[in-house]
């Protein structure tokens, strides 16, 4: 018979030395030989006792039938069981107060790990993660200084190794971001829809190696634009909307042709979701999903990402197409437009500073909601961990849980591999 172990803090008051031999079932822990004695001026030393059911009675079966066992209990011959544990005693100096007249005590549902797990409202699994991966034409993996632990991965070697590691711990979704050679960049970003460009080649390689891998792609011109903007720049500095959308449609079709599962317009041009949906359907890619960057804010948290892709705007900023961080209701306008144009997933970027926007979309749309925990969020947690100002692993997991709690179904996060290993119990 297995033992039932109960840890009790011994504060038993007595007028004589506690007779352990006659106090059935209580056994002092092995690291001490003391006994508890009542004292008028001193509190009884705390001791740990272990109650073991297997040591209290003979656990051998007697061969009795169910009816015989029931009859014995009815006759008053109750089998031995562990004794009622003594009530724990408060430490010396604790004030004696009247019990509060509370009908509801929420702490009752938090009193043990098992209860806390049973009533946990939000879950986090590796399936919730989409792993952003930076790729380049080189063969070596190049560290990204502003993002410790992240690399520009060689598309033929390092990328495959990183994807394999992620799949081993349950992360089977990736999103690709290319570092394009400067010589291939142009004002109109034509390299974005080159069927033999870096991204289409990478998609074909990944699908050949891992057919069931879910591949998200980024649809925007900034990695390919010599001006570093998400759209075509007119000579007076204006970002041209409709002309950019025309290029984005060709980019999305090229990515779908290579095998992308989800194309993700991150450019914030007006009308691009509907135009891309039409272009995909016209080419027979009805099955390819669109994850729209619905509420993408002109945020200062993107700095490390732009170093990773060497894609800082050559001039100006992105405030004429990305959203004002001060705006809340505007996110609903973007949500309604993207839904009506055929988006399959709605994304909020950044993540933690915009939990209210994630909740706003969750409460106003039945579509899946994605959140992007961006490079600045990642780098701050990493830096805080290095400086021992925070517990990196705990803060990482809490931040991801908060994004889920706010309403995100999936999270794009550079922590995907590290967090999945934690969830799987690995320590690497």
Answer for the pair 185, 225: CB distance below 8 angstroms, yes or no: yes
| CA-wise closest residue to 369 among 399, 419, 411, 309 | 411
- The CA-based dihedral angle spanning residues 380, 386, 391, 396, taken in that order and rounded to the nearest 10 degrees: 40
CB atoms within 10 A of CB 104: 5
DSSP 3-state of 49: strand
Q: Which residues contact 365 (CB under 8 A, 6 or more apart)?
A: 335, 339, 346
* Vertex 277: Cα angle to 271 and 279 (nearest 5): 100
Distance CA 370, CA 363 (A): 13
Distance CA 279, CA 258 (A): 15
DSSP 3-state of 195: coil
349 noted as active-site residue: yes
DSSP 32: -
Pairing of strands 214-219, 232-233: unpaired
CA distance to 1, 148, 241, 396, 425, per residue, from 415 (Å): 45, 11, 34, 8, 15
| CA-wise closest residue to 248 among 279, 203, 227 | 279
296 noted as active-site residue: yes
| Residues facing residue 240 across a β-bridge | 232
| CA-wise closest residue to 310 among 131, 129, 137 | 137
CA distance to 149, 202, 313, 350, 380, per residue, from 303 (Å): 16, 25, 11, 12, 11
Pairing of strands 5-10, 129-136: unpaired
Spot the catalytic one: 179, 185, 349, 382: 349
Spot the catalytic one: 179, 296, 318, 382: 296
Distance CA 396, CA 129 (A): 13
| CA-wise closest residue to 52 among 82, 78, 23, 30 | 82
Report, as residue numbers or ranges, the catalytic residues.
296, 349
């Amino acid at each position: 018979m297995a033992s039932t172990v109960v840890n009790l803090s011994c504060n038993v008051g007595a007028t004589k030395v506690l007779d352990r031999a006659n106090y059935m079932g209580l056994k002092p822990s092995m690291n001490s030989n003391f006994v508890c004695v009542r004292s008028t001026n001193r509190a009884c030393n705390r001791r740990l006792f272990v109650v073991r059911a297997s040591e209290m009675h003979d656990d051998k079966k007697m061969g009795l039938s169910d009816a015989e066992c029931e009859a014995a209990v009815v006759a008053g011959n109750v089998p031995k069981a562990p004794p009622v544990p003594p009530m724990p005693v408060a430490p010396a100096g604790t004030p004696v107060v009247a019990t509060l007249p509370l009908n509801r005590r929420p702490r009752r549902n938090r009193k043990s790990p098992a209860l806390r797990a049973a009533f946990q409202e939000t879950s986090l699994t590796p399936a919730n993660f989409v792993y952003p991966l930076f790729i380049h034409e080189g063969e070596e993996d190049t560290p990204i200084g502003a993002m410790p632990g992240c690399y520009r991965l060689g598309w033929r070697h390092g990328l495959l190794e990183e994807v394999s590691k992620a799949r081993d711990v349950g992360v089977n979704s990736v999103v690709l971001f290319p570092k394009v050679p400067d010589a291939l960049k142009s004002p109109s970003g034509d390299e974005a829809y080159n069927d033999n460009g870096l991204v289409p080649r990478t998609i074909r390689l990944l699908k050949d190696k891992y057919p069931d891998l879910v591949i998200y792609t980024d649809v925007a011109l900034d990695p390919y634009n010599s001006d570093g903007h998400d759209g075509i720049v007119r000579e007076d500095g204006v970002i041209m909307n409709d002309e950019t959308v025309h290029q984005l449609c060709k980019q999305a079709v090229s990515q779908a042709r290579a095998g992308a599962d989800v194309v993700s317009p991150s450019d914030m041009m007006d009308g691009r979701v509907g135009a891309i949906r039409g272009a995909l359907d016209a080419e027979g890619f009805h099955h390819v999903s669109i994850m729209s960057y619905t509420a993408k804010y002109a945020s200062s948290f993107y700095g490390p990402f732009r170093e990773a892709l060497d894609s800082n705007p050559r001039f100006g900023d992105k405030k004429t197409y990305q959203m004002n961080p001060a705006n809340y209701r505007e996110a609903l306008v973007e949500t309604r437009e993207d839904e009506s144009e055929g988006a399959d997933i709605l994304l909020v970027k950044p993540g933690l500073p915009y939990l209210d926007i994630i909740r706003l979309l969750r409460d106003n749309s039945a579509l899946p909601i994605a959140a992007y925990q961006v490079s600045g969020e990642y780098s701050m947690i990493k830096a805080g961990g290095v400086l021992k100002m925070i517990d990196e692993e705990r803060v990482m997991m809490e931040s991801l849980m908060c994004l889920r709690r706010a309403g995100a179904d999936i999270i794009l996060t550079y922590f995907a591999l590290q967090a999945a290993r934690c969830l799987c119990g690995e320590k690497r």
